[in-house]
Structure 1
């Protein structure tokens, strides 16, 4: 049985990825969608019937979820052709005033959740399988008032790059998707938790982004940063001293 696994699938970019995966890979046997909100997952399963959508309610900030997903994989023993490791948690603001729960959730979901989903699914991936890991342009340089989130995404960036190199001989690809602004529930356009200045930066078309990410992952690419604006930021972060990049990023957060 060949399947796709998509985390963070109940809203935002995860929903766009589900649509793109079903469209691009219509012959997969099942599509496993993982998120916290059961009702959202069940609604998606109904929307895409008669495709076999398998809703899995799991909170990836809770370590118990990893064992439950691992047990389901062991029981079903599928081949994971596509893994979209998309679950994430973002909160912005001064570190000194940030709620402890938000700090822990960013660490748990963005670091532990992403890492463990890769580890849990890896034994079921074969040559030709690939993973898309949702990272962020925040991984390219330290970001004041986004201190924990940016640091967590830097971990994801290094983790994905190193894992891709490890898996190259097995012909399993890992693509790091590093988007900028997206109009999601977590950061709705014009009403995000960041300063209003960041809402003046380009917002990305999530439908096109998801389709392109799958295409590039299939072709063996390692990093995808959508939009020339955010590509420019990525290049700037490589050549401009980090002390200067801190000042630039700090103007928007």
Structure 2
């Protein structure tokens, strides 16, 4: 059984993913600002209620790992923030807010986990088709899509930097998934796959994808977006 960190577990894909890992017998560290009671009550899930955009708060993760797990087999950077706003109205503060969650938190949490990662460990970052070069882009998502492009390049660089240690880094660029965040941004839009369905794909990729990929961006979308 593996020790797996999942971020953004309060709802949607992260919530479903944490449950799938835990129900299969893996140990899960679920990180989100709000913690559902279902996760708190699961014997295989440890929960940390922290704001990922707060670098200092992430030290709680280091404290947990050093005192409890000692090793990390997989990290799924699933947490994300989305802003739908015309670019002309977008401020630097807007960019900073989105990047703190979508980019800086990924970098900071990965750095904290490095001493606990080992050969065979797998780090997955959930990006978006909106962050992939040449894919269809949507107006109003300048902060979100550009941040999702940034973590793609970051992942490629980390894969190169840590390949000799046997640690794999990959990106899953998702198309639209029927989540609360999607519904809040685009009310009424119907995505082709549920949060639970996408979590099932990510579950398998987390456990097996590093056997075949490292430093790669996999587009996981049956539609445009």
TM-score where L is the length of structure 1: 0.76
Q: Is the 8 A contact 2:7 2:30 kept in 1?
A: yes
1:53 alignment partner in structure 2:
45
Flag the 1:35–1:62 CA change in 2: closer, same or farther, 3 A: same
SS of the equivalent of 1:60 reads coil
> What is the rounded CA distance, in whole Å, between the counterparts of 2:23 and 2:176 in structure 1?
25
Q: Structure 1 residue 183: deviation in Å?
A: 1.1
Runs of 5+ unmatched residues, structure 1: 234-253
**TM-superposed deviation, 1:84:** 1.0
2: CA distance between counterparts of 1:52 and 1:203? 27
Give the direction of change, closer, same or farther, for the CA distance of 1:165–1:153 in structure 2 (3 Å limit): same
Deviates more, 1:157-166 or 1:221-230: 221-230
Q: Could you say what secondary structure the match of 1:96 adopts? A: helix
Which of residues 22, 33, 36 in structure 1 aligns to 2:30? 33
- 1:19/1:43 Cα in 2 relative to 1: closer, same or farther (>3 Å)? closer
Hey, what does 1:88 align to over in structure 2? 80
> 1:159-178 residue pairs with structure 2 within 5 A?
159-178=154-173
Equivalence for 1:11: 11
C-alpha contact 2:50 2:57 (8 A) present in aligned 1: yes
Match of 1:108 in 2: 100
Which string of whole-angstrom CA distances, capped at 9 and with x for unpartnered residues, describes residues 171-228 of structure 1?
Answer: 111120110101111112xxx42487xx366446323332343244242423322234
Deviations 1:46-97 (A, max 9, x none): 1x3xx33111011011122122222332333511011111111011120233
Tell me the matched-pair count.
218
- 2:151 is matched with 156
| Unpaired stretches in structure 2, ≥5 consecutive residues | none
Gap change, CA 1:121 and 1:206, over 3 Å in 2: same
- Per mean C-alpha deviation after superposition, the further-off stretch among 157-166 and 67-76 is 67-76
How far apart are the structure 1 equivalents of 2:105 and 2:32?
A: 12
Which of 38, 46, 55 does residue 43 from structure 1 map onto? 38
Per the alignment, do residues 104 and 22 of structure 1 end up closer, same or farther by CA in structure 2, a change over 3 Å counting? same
2:181 corresponds to: 186
**Which structure has the greater CA radius of gyration?**
1
* Conservation of the 8 A alpha-carbon contact between 2:3 and 2:69: no
- Give the structure with the higher percent strand: 2
